[in-house]
A and B are shown apart, each in its own frame.
Chain A
Amino acid sequence: EDKVVQSPLSLVVHEGDTVTLNCSYEVTNFRSLLWYKQEKKAPTFLFMLTSSGIEKKSGRLSSILDKKELFSILNITATQTGDSAVYLCAVEAAGNKLTFGGGTRVLVKP
């Protein structure tokens, strides 16, 4: 059974801090790993990672995948209150089905 585990479950930081979110997985026939940000109901897409060691960046967010150790990290630098959300990691295996982790709830305080 495919499994995706995220850590920590939640964290509280202050504006300007840097956060690192972890996602580990056990998946048969891995195809890609995706990160989403969920603030209200629908998650919004952040990154898709398919290759090891290549960092993807978007503004203050960055992510990298390690296919040997089966994990990914999502970094957020210089956090802002608008970064407060649940961050979801999902892994796509053969068949296009995504398995989601339980999410990390991030609260950024002013």
Chain B
Amino acid sequence: GAGVSQSPSNKVTEKGKDVELRCDPISGHTALYWYRQSLGQGLEFLIYFQGNSAPDKSGLPSDRFSAERTGGSVSTLTIQRTQQEDSAVYLCASSPVGNEQFFGPGTRLTVL
């Protein structure tokens, strides 16, 4: 069975450009999470989708960050006008009913 997948695995971009990161959760998982891990830091919550409910966006660091989840499955995290401090590994996780989250391999974003 496929796990959570993310693409691209690595992304290098120039400051000021927009980037889109994709997450394909495990089929049937109703919850989807985005996290960010900066070098040497713990995981930072960004946004949470649960079914058809309004997403919990409380972790998004600025209005340059947005995410959507289409059809309750695939999610895209968009960062507009990227800054160097956006460089991090962006992790996606999905969860069935219950608590355990299954993480994807992450996307390493480098903003030059």
Chain A residues at the B interface, C-beta cutoff of 8 Å: 6, 31-32, 34, 40-45, 48, 88, 90, 92, 95-103
Contact = CB atoms under 8 A, between A and B. Distances in A.
B26 interface: no
B20 to A, nearest CB: 19
B38 to A, nearest CB: 11
B108 A41 contact: yes
B105 A42 contact: yes
A72 to B, nearest CB: 14
B103 A97 contact: no
Q: Is chain B's binding surface mostly helix, strand, loop or mixed?
A: strand
Interface of B: 31, 33, 35, 37, 41-45, 48, 50, 56, 58-59, 89, 91, 95, 99-106, 108
The residue among B41, B42, B58, B104 with the most chain A CB atoms within 10 A of its own CB is: B42
B8 to A, nearest CB: 13
A39 B43 CA distance: 14
Contacts of A95: 48, 56
Contacts of B43: 43, 88, 90, 98, 100
Contacts of B91: 41-43
Given A41-B89, A96-B95, A98-B33, A48 B42 contact: no
28 contacts: A31-B99, A32-B99, A34-B99, A34-B101, A40-B105, A41-B37, A41-B91, A41-B105, A41-B106, A42-B104, A42-B105, A42-B106, A43-B103, A44-B103, A45-B101, A88-B42, A92-B99, A95-B56, A96-B31, A96-B99, A98-B33, A98-B45, A98-B101, A99-B45, A100-B44, A100-B45, A101-B42, A102-B41
B11 to A, nearest CB: 13
Nearest to B103: A42
Contacts of A32: 99
A31 B101 CA distance: 14
